[in-house]
Structure 1
Amino acid sequence: MPSTFSQIYIHIIFSVKDRNAMLHLSWENELYMYISGIVRNKGQKMLAINGMPDHVHILIGMKPSCCVSDLVREIKKASSEFTRQNKKSTSKFQWQEGYGAFSCSHSTLKKVITYINNQKAHHKRRSFQEEYQALLDRYEVDYREDFLFER
């Protein structure tokens, strides 16, 4: 077979260091556009991005040659620099170490996109910690609660 064909969808979640509420409505769309540009420049397809003041959800269509950890590292590094250089935060902005990455099937894309797009409404009922632990449980990821979040 002379070519590679794939459909790989990854739902990525990461939070602000110590889950501080530092992403403000006044500039979150600018940050999301910047992150979307990073994803596109790395040759990947941004399908959805949204979040809350303390965390971000991203859904990406990935090429098999992409390494998730490299992409997330670049997103975090470049978006932190963007935030600091553009003086978006009065405190030192940085992302928490680690992230969640969950594979999605093509048949669930619309549901995951809707879930990401409705973060503000979703979090009126559920905290980020509850949401994240529920995702880990749904995907049957082994974890220790004492290592989930920095504080």
Structure 2
Amino acid sequence: MPYTRLRYHIVTATHERKPFIFPDIERFIFAVMRAEARKMGCEIIAIGGIEDHLHMVSAIPPKIAVSIFIREVKTESSRAVKRQFAHMNKFAWQVGYSAFTVNPFDMKRLIHYVENQRERHARDDLWTEFERIE
């Protein structure tokens, strides 16, 4: 039986990089994304971001295309935000994203990077390659 352990660092932004992801709804968005990932047989290991974009470290099995995973978590989180928060009816994700495979030996460092996005942006201590979103 084949064995895979595929981990991805995914970065996505809000539509037109509008500052939508404020702390008061951040936990809600993250919870919805994690629940949608579980429905697909995937896992969001770590998630973090600032007002206009977020980073995820995700485990995605080979039977699920990365593009499908991203589309589903973004679509469901966008719908849920609009249902839950009336003032967020313009909330949307941009179409593009960045996705990188992760070396298993770098996981601990990457998880720390992702979970501390607000602090890193405040200090301008960023890994510029991972901040690009196409």
* Per-residue deviation, residues 20-69 of structure 1 (Å, max 9, x unmatched): 11111112111101100111110012210111111111111121111000
Query: 1:110 & 1:28 partners in 2: Cα distance?
Result: 23
Corresponding residue number in structure 1 for 2:44:
46
Query: 1:4 & 1:33 partners in 2: Cα distance?
Result: 31
TM-score (ref. length: structure 1): 0.81
Q: Which runs of 5+ in 2 are unaligned?
A: none
* Per-residue deviation, residues 76-121 of structure 1 (Å, max 9, x unmatched): 1111100111126445110011100000011000011000011011
TM-score (ref. length: structure 2): 0.91
Corresponding residue number in structure 2 for 1:143:
none
Query: 1:89 & 1:45 partners in 2: Cα distance?
Result: 29
Deviation at 1:10, TM superposition (A): 0.4
Corresponding residue number in structure 2 for 1:124:
122
Runs of at least 4 residues off by over 2 Å: 88-91, 131-137
When Rg is computed on C-alpha atoms for both structures, the one with the higher figure is 1
Percent identical residues: 26
Deviation at 1:4, TM superposition (A): 1.6
Query: 1:89 & 1:59 partners in 2: Cα distance?
Result: 29
Corresponding residue number in structure 1 for 2:108:
110
Q: Which runs of 5+ in 1 are unaligned?
A: 138-147
Change beyond 3 A, Cα 1:31–1:135 = closer
